[in-house]
Every structure is written in structure tokens, then in C-alpha cells.
Structure 1
């Protein structure tokens, strides 16, 4: 049919080739736009009543079938365009036309049918998806039987070689996907550092237990219920806290929680005569929770009971520490400070970028304040991390380097590391080394 090609026939075939390349442009761009479009944004548009967004969501729900249909159509039009172009050039230039056809078809397909449409689509995938959705939905309906037949053929071939599609599930959870998206947005500057920490803290609630963020019992301010009422009142009013545990006999024997507001009311009701106040009458029962309770569950329990404080106990019933509703909220929004709080107690940033920190400072709080990435899987506090990595209880002056940071022990009391100096090394921004890989230098 190409041997006696006339000028009119050449023009007609050229128009067909152009139409095929335009179709390839459409299929390639549609595939990129629909696969790169944000489901979250499209869902928001659908909820606002956008019918095109509803079409996009229907297509995304059959993603594999959609991609198969577009690939079939794209390959068909590319093959047809290549065949027609080869025939035209053979008729014009003879056998050497095959060489010209190879070059011309390659340039046209790569540039105008692949790179250009994908580049245009990826620049604004949501808008592109909305534009192409009506036409693509119609094509999926028309080509659907062919795509299903190809899919069955492919699955049959894979089964012959021992591969079963669908058996392997994606290991990434929804939380991990959200976390990865937030990190990417933060890297691009679309999400502020504080917002990234806030979203990360919210996602971490399922992975943390109350023992990870509780105030250790050595730092809990508790009062002896057997002390004179006047002393209890003075200590309570001088305390920066509104709720104080009371113990009797020994520190482990918590008998209740004293609320400052209840105390003030009792004093006022007694005519400002402290001797008439009965502490046992105004304290509320203590609430004990296991140290293994997930933070998300504990938050729900606080809200359900309308409580603000609980005492954390281990499997033997021993009091390990205290957790408050504010502690959990701070895991999400960051440190909540008032006029009685330090910005981050126990942490001082030095002029050279190093940090001097108490050993009991939580790793998560230090990471959030300094935008660091110290691991907190094996230890909760800075001292715990150093002991875990060093596999020993170091002495003052000893220095350890791991995870891109240098830790120097400044002070130690018995078996507790009370003060450390932490200095980021040039490798601090690199991926953290595996746990246990630490380099120690004697002091």
C-alpha cells in the first residue's frame, strides 16, 4: 500500500501518525497523573462534591486494572505509529528508510509520547487526573475485557514459574506512610519543624508505653501524709504542681492524691484555720496503671475517667513513676511551659553547639529540642543510651562516639550518670549506625 504513495496519501498517513502520537501522549500523561495524584487531596475534592474527583477515586480503586488498560492502549498506538512511520519512510527513501524510521520513531516516541507528557503530568498530577478522568473511565470500560484477558494470561505465566501475585503484602503501614510523607514535606520546606514533630508525636502514641515518658519515682514530689497538716499545706502551696501524691509509712505506699484547689477550698471552709483541715478528707484515690500500657490507651483512659494523673507500677506492683495527661499531650505538641517551668529542664546548649544534659533527660525531648535523631528504641534517657551502647557503667571523663554524636561523662553518682556533654560529629546527619556499634575512649 506504500509503493504508490501519493502526496495526498502521504499527508493522510502523516495525520494518522500524528493522531497516534497524540493518543500516546494522552495515555502516558494519564497514567502518570492518575498514579501520582494524592488520594488525600482527591478525596477532599470528592467530599466537597466534585464529580470529577469521584471519577478519579473510582479509577484509583482499580489501580492495577487501570494501569493495565492504559499500558495496552499506549503500546498499541505506539506500535501502530512506528509501523506507519516505517512504511512511509520506506516508500520515500527505500531500504535506507528503515534507519531513518528507527531514529525518527525513537525520537518521537521518547520525547513526545513518554518524557514530555509525563513531565507535564507530574507538575500538577491532581489537576491532570481531574482533566483526564472522564475519558479514561470510558476507555477502561471499553478496553476492560481485553485488559482482564491480558491480566489472566500474565497471572497464568507467573504461576508457571512459581510466582503468585498478591501473596506478598506491602509491609509499610499507614502510619509509616504518613510519617514518610511528612518527612518528605518537611525536607521540601512545606511542613514546619514544629508541625513535623507534632505529627510524629501523634503517630508515636501507638508505639510508646507509659514507662517511656513517665516521671521517674526519683523525681516525683510526694508528701508524707503523717506530717503535720501545717507542713503539708506549706509544702503543697510552695510546690509548682497542682496534684501531689501522698504516702504513708513508706514512699511506695501511696494513699491518695492531694489537689491544690481542694486544699485551698478546705482551708477557706475552715476559716483559714489550717489545724481544722483533715488531709484524709480531701485527698482523692490514687489511680495505678501498668507500665506496659500503650500511650494511646492511656490517653483514652484519661479522657474517659476525666483524670489528669496516674501512678505507674511494674509487674510486682512497685511504683515506678508518675504519668499525667500533660505528659502525653507534650508528646504531641512539645514541651508545655508556664512561668514555673524551664524550657527543657536539665539541658544547656553551649556556644560551640554541644549540649550539657542531665543523665535523666529523655532522648525524645532532646531530639525534639535540638532536631537530632538519637535512637530511643533501647533506652529512654540519655544516660540509659550511653550505658546501653557502652555495655558498662562508665566513669567521669570517659568518652563514647556512636550514632554521629560524642558523649562525654561529666559527673556520676554511684551507678547513675548525672551529667553528660553531647557533641554532634560531622557524621551526625548520616543514617544512625546499628545499635551497639560504639567507639570508646578512656578518660
Structure 2
């Protein structure tokens, strides 16, 4: 082929080839923009927008209408891909005759896959936020021009799927904000970016709305309380010797809570002139008790504690019977972990054995055990580890009876009446057995 032939070729087909190359570049722009704008961090864009970045505001506006945005980019991408393929086919038909269709198909497939799909999408995913901010002004023009057509296409798609009984959600995500945050934190922990303690604290905050007061309260069987019918000396001694600063006062039965005594209020009363333990009426010093339903979620209860500036409440069931007490500290411990001071009793209820097993008191909450040992025992149906064994076994186990579920062997070490008071838990080697089995 002589130089004159080459010159003639480019004179005849140069404009057409240039158009095809431009269309491939535009297709790459659409593909990269779609990847970047669907994977961009909404939180990062919001932060940049607050700092005055107008491009971040543009991105936030477009991803708020994600269905319209993706539709506009897909329509634009398909238009340029089809046009590029048509022009290439026309070029190759004039050069190679009927065989040009085959050549055009093979060459355009290779070019579009490499240069209009894999390359721009790989680039976009490697620098998502920066890529999204760069293309935002141009994509906004496409969004405004093709957006109405995209909305029309979405309406047609919803109508057709609706004829087959398929309803598309208009929300942008199938996951709640809580689930998205939880998944992000767990993933970052798995990758090593977030330490376990921080993951547990963030998880505790996210779980407040899912937990009820009954999940964290001090049960009535473990509740310290003062009998109003005791002698003044005995009542004062009970309060002052208690490791807790606030105690409920009952009369007649534990279901009749008549007050809440604070050790500081008692100390002030004892500091009055001529006051002594034998003359103190502890009921008069006490404050009015606050009763809350056991079904109240922890988020609402925390807000109620802060609003009323009260640190303790009596928990009752739907029949008005006292189930226990809940404190502000109990809720905060769900976020930050165990809070201990110099007067707290150091009773964890969990003991590591030399053989790798764990000896646990039956009253230990499942959530505390999961947090301490990084386990995943379910806590939807039971609050304590003893309650989990009873729920899974569907019986009140006997001593030395064992059960296997959730990849652990649970051995009942001690039982008092109908209560499991001590268990040995031994993790199993190999796959977890999800169905309880007894032997």
C-alpha cells in the first residue's frame, strides 16, 4: 500500500474512524461515572458539601435520585455503544464486504470491553470519591437532559413488572441505615481498620433501638431492696452497706415498691442535728419511684433518663408486677462495656478453664458473653445463657446433661430447683451444629 493509498484511506474514512474513537471515549465516561456515582460515599459527599464543595453538593443531589441517575447513564451509554457499533459495521462492510460484520463484531466487542468497560470502571472504583467529583459537572448535564427519559423508562419497567406481580421499592436501599452502618463496621473490623473495642461500642449504639429494658435490667431475684417494715437501724444499715447508691424500698411484698432511697439523701438526713439511725424514717427520706414498662426499648429509655434527670427506674410487666430495676449505667454499659468503680463487686460470672472451656453463671447475659468472647450466640429469644439453653432444649435440663448447638457444647453443672445456675461451655471443633441435640 503506497502513501497515496494511505492518504486516500484516511481522507475517505478518517472522519468516521475519529467518530468511532470519540464514541468509545464517551462510553468509557458513562461506564466510569456509573461505577463511581453508585459506589461513592454519601457520608463523605455530605462532609465535603458542608465544607463548601459545590461538586459534592451536585453528587449528593444526583445520588438522591439514584434510579433516575443510573437510568440516564445507561441510556446514554447504550446510545453511544450502539452508534459506535453501527459506524464500525458500516466501515468494515465497505472494506471487507459481507465478512465485515464478523470483523466489526469481534473488534468492537474487544474495544468496548477493554476500553469502555473494564478500564474506566477499574479506574473509578480505585478512586471513587475523586472520580465522582471530577465527572459530576458533566454528568449533571446528562442527568438534566436524559433524566426525564430515564423516569419514563422506569415507569414503563415498573408497569410491566407490576403486571407480573413484582413491586419495586422506591427506596434507594434494601438495608436500613442501621444495617448499613453495622455491616460497614463489621467489615472494617474484619479488615483490621477498626479494633474490637470500637466495633463493640459502635454496635452497642446501633443496637439500643433493638433491645428492650427487660434485656438489661437487674432481675427481681437479684435485686437489692430495703424493707420499709424493718427497724430504722436495720434499714439504714442495709443502705449504707450496699455497694449501690440507689435502692428501692418495698412494703409487704416486692411488688409493692413505695420509694427509691439514695445513699446521699440518707447521709444528709443523718448529718442533721440530733439525727441518728434509730430516728430516721427512711420512707420520708426516699424519693418517689418511677415505673417503666419492660417492653420499652433502650433508646427511648436512655432519652427518658436524660430528660427526667433520673438514674434508676422500676421495671414492671403488662400486669403491673415488678420485674426488676434498670439504671442509666445499665444502658451505658451496653455501649461502652462494663463500668466498674472502687465500690463495685468484681463478679463477672465467667471463668476460663485450662482445657479451653468456659464456666459461666446461668445469669450471665448472652450479649455480655458474645462481647467478651467474640461469639455470635443468638439473643432474640433469651436474655441469659441459662435461658438460651432452656429455649433450645425445650426443657428444664438435669445436672450433667449436655446439649450441642451453635457450635458449642453446653453442660449443665449446677441446678437449683428450676434454675440453671452454672454451665460449662466448650467450643466444638469443626462445623457448628445449629440444631440442639441431647445425650
Q: What RMSD, in angstroms, separates the aligned Cα atoms of the two structures?
A: 2.5
Residues 388-427 of structure 1 correspond to what in structure 2 (within 5 A)?
A: 388-426=391-429
- Cα distance, 1:387 vs structure 2: 0.7
Q: State which drifts further: 220-229 or 62-71.
A: 220-229
Q: Secondary structure at the match of 2:247?
A: strand
2:25 paired with 1:22: yes
Whether 1:207 and 2:205 are equivalent positions in the alignment is no
CA contact (8 A) 1:335 1:343 kept: no
Structure 1 residue 65: deviation in Å?
A: 1.6
User: Contact 1:270/1:277 (CA < 8 Å) preserved in 2?
Assistant: no
Shift in CA distance, 349/340, structure 1 to aligned 2, threshold 3 Å: farther
- Once the two structures are superposed, residues 359-391 of structure 1 have per-residue CA deviations (whole angstroms, 9 ceiling, x without a partner) of 011111111111111111111111111011111
Partner of residue 191 from structure 1, selected from 173, 191, 194: 194
Q: CA deviation at 1:411?
A: 0.7
State the match for 1:181 in structure 2. 184
The superposition leaves residues 309-344 of structure 1 with CA deviations (integer Å, 9 ceiling, x where unpaired) of 111122332221111111111112221122344666
Unaligned runs of 5+ in 2: 1-6
Residue number in structure 1 paired with 2:252 = 249
CA contact 1:397–1:409 (8 Å) conserved in 2 = yes
TM superposition shift of 1:93: 4.1
Name the stretch that deviates more: 69-78 or 186-195.
186-195
Deviation readout 1:241-297 (Å, 9 max, x if unpaired): 111222233333323222111122222224674334332332112222222222222
Task: Please state how far the C-alpha of 1:150 moved relative to its aligned partner.
Answer: 3.8
Q: CA-to-partner distance for each residue in 1:14-36, whole Å, 9 max, x for gaps?
A: 32222111111100000111111
Q: Quickly say closer, same or farther: Cα 1:77–1:299, change in 2 above 3 A.
A: same
Establish whether residue 101 from structure 1 lines up as the match of residue 101 from structure 2.
no
TM-score by length of 2: 0.90
- TM-score of the pair, normalised by structure 1: 0.90
| Partners of 2:395 and 2:151 in 1: CA distance | 62
Verify: 1:281 aligned to 2:281, yes or no. no
- Unpaired stretches in structure 1, ≥5 consecutive residues: none
Provide the rounded CA distance (Å) in 2 between the counterparts of 1:56 and 1:168. Answer: 18
Q: CA deviation at 1:410?
A: 0.6
User: Secondary structure in 2 aligned to 1:328?
Assistant: helix
Q: What SS does structure 2 have at the residue aligned with 1:244?
A: strand
- Preserved CA contact (<8 Å) 1:310 1:324: yes
In structure 2, distance between residues paired with 1:293 and 1:206: 9
Q: What is the aligned partner in structure 2 of residue 440 from structure 1?
A: 438
- 3-state SS of 2:253 partner: coil
Farther off after superposition, 248-257 or 280-289: 248-257
Counterparts of 2:245 and 2:20 in 1: how far apart (Å)? 80
Q: 1:51 to 1:300 in 2, by over 3 A?
A: same
Larger deviation: 8-17 or 114-123? 8-17
Rounded to whole Å, the distance in 1 between the matches of 2:331 and 2:374 is 20
